[in-house]
Chains A and B, each alone.
Chain A
Amino acid sequence: MQKCGCAREAVERYGDMLYRICLLSLRNTADAEDAVQETFLKYVQRSHDFSSAEHEKAWLITVATNKCRDMLRYRTRHMTEREELLLGYAIEKEGSGILDALMELPEKYKTPLMLFYIEGYKVNETADIMGISLPAAKMRLSRGRKLLEEKYRKEYM
């Protein structure tokens, strides 16, 4: 994999995916932009090469989800920040209830659901990216799915 001169290519290739993950996680377009930007900055400044495109993609997702987690932790600790709840993202209003329900889930369920259902990762890959055990990933997916279904049906249908 190329080390330098790859910013545009990488943003074009993975920008939408990372933005989706960060936006759903942070629920705020400006923060999502910051998280994606920092992810790509880390990407262009990294000192190693990737063994494959999948490795590259998984690395980017890991960095982005870690960044989101840090930002959420900061936000929780510093409750002053007002959340502009997802006013700026461009998706059709119709059918967005499922996303609203997803965004309201705790992070530990939201991330595996995003990786599994939206990004199409397998359970073991989801576990690897999140740095958790396979049973834990299964458990979180299962509970997350249940919570999502309950929340969606109760609040958004």
Chain B
Amino acid sequence: MDKKLKKVADKIKMPEDMKERIINTCELAEKKRSNTDDNGGYIDVVSSSERINPRSQLIRTISTVAVCAVLIGGLGVAGVFLQRHRNAQMPSSEEIDELECKSLTFDDFSTFEYIFDAGDGKKGKYSAETYEKISDYLNNFNWGSELEEYEARPMYEDAEEPFYNINWTRGDTPPVECNIRIANDGFVTYTESMMDFENGSQKPLTDNSRCYKIDFDAFEGGIQDILSQEKSDPTPFGDFTTFDFSFSKDNNYYDKKNGEVYEKIADFLNNFKWGEEVIESEQGTTHQAREVVYNVDWQIGERFYYFYIDKDGQVNYGEGIKDNGTQAETIVDKRKYKIDFIDFEIGLAEIGLDIDSSSSDSGEEITSNDESITLSEDELIYDADGNYDFEANMKRIDQKIEKYLESFEDLRIEVSIEDENQNELVPDDEQSREQLEIFLKNDFESMLKYDYSMYDSTSEGKYKLIIVKYNYMSGDKEVFYKAYTVVNNNSVVRSDCKRGSGVDEWHGPYPFEIDYNAFITKLSEFGL
């Protein structure tokens, strides 16, 4: 498959006309650069990474014209055209002076608190510095003239998602809720609402509604410029290197006292992809009990913060305030995220955290009950540890195998299936053989359920058997082998073998349960 991938991908070639377009644009930029160097840096506009000849958008064409204008006229002033197109509607300095003399389209944003929601999940949680810039931008942005009634769209008439929302409360009595909704088609709707004393709902003050039409790209460009400068926290929960937190799994606690391990956890949490907040409606209405695996909590001043992660990768975050006098705790924010739980655990394992053992020292050898051997980190020697249930042990074993196998870059798996007399079972036709291979590689193991109670060492020889073998190859060498013996009493026994240099390490047997009839039915689909 790897060779096929390369073979097919190599056929992708850049079309000649595209190549020429790019060459022309680059040569233009080269000339520009050359002129700039010759003129002692007189014109430096093209040195930005702005698209010079992008396609399919009118604004891109304008940029191209601007490049020509600079080249032909040789005037630094023409460089203005090359300013990011999103600034097209920003007023010039003269206009700003003029603007300052006339009334603002909306209230002066620098004089009151508002929430600027850019639809990025942060719900307007930006720094004061960013808000200052946003206020300046909103105050100076050219919103154009108010649209006539027939040009304006009634609020929420269209299905377009608003990209930006600005909300604030004007301190009238009763307070007036103000909203500016900026849709991605450039329609800006300003509305006010006030609480209806009769039924408590927000009643629109329609007389005060206004509508404008702006260049959305221009607006967004400026806003994104500001937001991109925001020194945001690396995670939705903050920067874990800036406060003291405790991290726990089961009875294992990690905090600042753990030194290097703690620092690694902080870095890991900061770099982990937490994704966007999951909004309530996406989660369904079921509130079943979930098995919490990881807990993280911390406190900053009077505020306490926590989140816990369950086995399904659901992250429940909470933030609250503790009253020092009454000790009463009030939750002020709750959020949910969905993460890739396996990625999370792998990440922890990569920083050396033993996510499975009860000891925080990952290098420590764990002794176990008399049924097991030992567990060592450096070699692939493993077996059941009496401190854990069978399923937990098997998961740990499987993770270790996976990690071991991942060290082979060219790993391939050969699968086969045999009857009790060790005769290989092979479907008659090519398609069935292929389908069987897919089934054995992808689906067979998902039919198995860890179950220690299924193990019966006296059952050998009594029942009908089918053996499924997996040979893990690196080059022409087998590096690992595992075989499942499927018995018609619904039990399965797995044996593993790590092929070492000279000495093979055998492990198992590991017992599982299977629906034997379902397995046989599946095999019959391949003509076996």
Spell out A's residues near B (CB within 8 Å).
4-5, 7-8, 10-12, 15-16, 18-20, 23-24, 30, 33-34, 36-38, 40-45, 77-78, 80, 89-92, 95-96, 98-99, 102, 113-114, 117-118, 120, 123, 133, 135-136, 138-139, 141-142, 145, 148-150, 152-154, 157
A96 to B55, CA, bound (A): 26
Spell out B's residues near A (CB within 8 Å).
1-2, 4-15, 18-19, 21-23, 25-27, 29-30, 33-34, 46-47, 49, 51-56, 119-120, 163, 184, 346, 350, 405-407, 409, 411, 434, 438, 441-442
A91 to B12, CA, bound (A): 6
Tell me if B1 and A152 are in contact (CB < 8 A): yes
Specify the main secondary structure of chain A where it touches its partner: helix
CB distance from A18 to the nearest CB of B (A): 8
Q: Which residues of B contact A91 (CB under 8 A)?
A: 8, 11-12
A118 to B6, CA, bound (A): 5
- Return 16 A-B CB contacts under 8 Å, by A number: A7-B23, A8-B26, A11-B26, A15-B19, A37-B51, A40-B26, A44-B29, A44-B30, A80-B184, A118-B9, A118-B10, A139-B346, A142-B405, A148-B5, A153-B438, A157-B434
Known A-B contacts A141-B409, A142-B406; A95 and B7 likewise in contact (beta carbons under 8 Å): yes
Specify the main secondary structure of chain B where it touches its partner: helix
Instruction: Indicate the member of B2, B9, B350 with the most A CB atoms within 10 Å.
Output: B9
Tell me if A42 and B49 are in contact (CB < 8 A): yes
Tell me if A23 and B30 are in contact (CB < 8 A): no
Q: Which residues of B contact A37 (CB under 8 A)?
A: 21-22, 25-26, 51-54
Instruction: Name the residue on B nearest A12 (C-beta).
Output: B19
Known A-B contacts A11-B22, A149-B1; A36 and B54 likewise in contact (beta carbons under 8 Å): no
Q: Which residues of A contact B29 (CB under 8 A)?
A: 7, 41, 44-45
B19 contacts which of A11, A42, A135 (Cβ < 8 Å)? A11
Known A-B contacts A33-B18, A37-B25, A138-B409; A45 and B33 likewise in contact (beta carbons under 8 Å): yes
Q: Which residues of A contact B1 (CB under 8 A)?
A: 98, 148-149, 152
Tell me if B406 and A19 are in contact (CB < 8 A): no
Tell me if A150 and B442 are in contact (CB < 8 A): yes
